Amino acid sequence: MLVMNIVSEIVERALAEDLAGGDLTTEATVPESTIAVGRAIARAPCVACGADVFAKVFYSIDASLRVEGSVEEGSWMEAGQALWEVEGSARSILLAERTALNFVQRMSGIATLARSFVSALPEGCRTRITDTRKTTPGLRHLERYAVRMGGAHNHRDMLGSAVLIKDNHIEAAGGITTAVAQARKRAPHTSKIEVEVESIEQVEEALSAGADIIMLDNFSLEQLDSAVALVKGKALLEVSGKITLDRIADLARRGVDVISVGALTHSAPAADIALDIERLS
């Protein structure tokens, strides 16, 4: 679920970026009295995502506009299908068009990529596909929402959400055992402790130290099999690093609990969505 006060702040910044100098073209060519309808059309198949953000952009420009959605959020759209519609002042629609499309193209693109990764899991598999913190600065709230609309899950939302001891923490703390022990002392009792490891030896140390979750970073398949056999359900196992779509089914069948995919947010291609405007009067 989107938090609309956060959405409002994001939209306000985006509109200020695009409209700081007004819109010379629209003001010069479109009469104030012109009424139009704009329809957001999927030019290629995608997962629809961002209806509330789309509407918020237009209403921020002109509260008298009418914005309606014709599809359920997170639904699969074929090329040529209409997603959302806006009606009212043609000037207002044109002022908001690019910003609104930028948001929904980005969000629908992420949702579409997330859906493809989830669909690659073997049927009945318990493995989760999650995102990472590799998000666009300032847009994490929208991008995380899009991941969920695609059927995947979110990792920790911010640094304060959970303990995740990575390679640099291990180095700075003086080792996995010390890092986990200090985390147990200082972190809230409600927080799980995750440790990122790069070798089977580190898996053994993290397990002995009492880690709740062990992240296997860039493990080979042979190393992964060894880790699964070693852990035997004593901790959750997450795999990360160079995760591509063609590896998902194989990784999941090996018995891991979580596959984290940075590409869901940092490399998702924008969905091909356009706004077709029709003059009404």
Which CATH number belongs to the domain containing residue 24 in this structure?
3.90.1170.20
Task: Please report the pLDDT score of residue 26 as a whole number.
Answer: 97
Identify whether residues 43 and 110 lie together within a single domain: yes
State the helix-helix crossing angle for 140-149 and 4-19, rounded to 10 degrees. 120
Q: What is residue 228's predicted lDDT score, i.e. its pLDDT?
A: 97
- Active site includes 217? yes
**Which one from 18, 23, 98, 272 is the annotated catalytic residue?**
98
pLDDT of residue 1: 87
- Examine the domain organization and report whether 63 and 158 are in the same domain: no
Whether 194 sits among the annotated catalytic residues: the reply is: no
Domain membership of residue 96 as a residue range: 4-118+268-279
| Tokens 């991008």 -> residue | 143
pLDDT at position 210: 96
Distance of CA 171 to the CA centre of its chain: 30
CB of 85 closer than 8 Å to CB of 67: yes
**Mean pLDDT in consecutive groups of 10 residues from the start of the chain, 281 residues:** 96 97 96 98 98 98 96 97 98 98 98 98 96 97 98 94 96 97 94 96 97 97 97 96 96 97 97 98 93
Dist. CA 107–CA 56, nearest whole Å: 14
Residues 227 and 272 in one domain: no
**Phi and psi at residue 90, in whole multiples of 5°?**
-65, -40
Q: What tokens appear for 226 in the block?
A: 């060894």
Whether residues 223 and 275 fall in one domain: no
- Is 144 part of any domain? no
- Spatial distance between the Cα atoms of 96 and 77, rounded to a whole number of angstroms: 23
Pick the closest to residue 142 from 93, 109, 120, 164 (CA basis): 109
Active-site residue, selected from the candidate residues 39, 148, 166, 184: 166
Residues 113 and 165 in one domain: no
CA distance 110 to 245: 14
Residue 112's pLDDT is: 98
User: How many Å apart are CA 114 and CA 131, to the nearest integer?
Assistant: 9
Pick the catalytic residue from 97, 217, 238, 257.
Answer: 217
Residue that is written with structure tokens 């074929």 in the block: 78
Active-site residue identified among 134, 148, 184, 254:
134
97 and 182 both lie in a single domain: no
Give residue 105's pLDDT: 98
Phi, psi for 253 (deg, rounded to 5): -65, -20
Alpha helical stretches, state H, 20-89: 24-29, 51-61
Residue 224 located in a structural domain: yes
> Of 97, 143, 196, 238, which residue is the catalytic one?
196
Give the pLDDT score at 70: 81
DSSP reduced 3-state for 84: strand
pTM of the predicted model as reported, rounded to 2 decimal places? 0.96
In the residue annotation, 56 being an active-site residue is answered as: no
Is residue 113 domain-shared with residue 164, that is, in the same domain? Answer: no
Q: What is the CATH number of the domain that holds 213?
A: 3.20.20.70
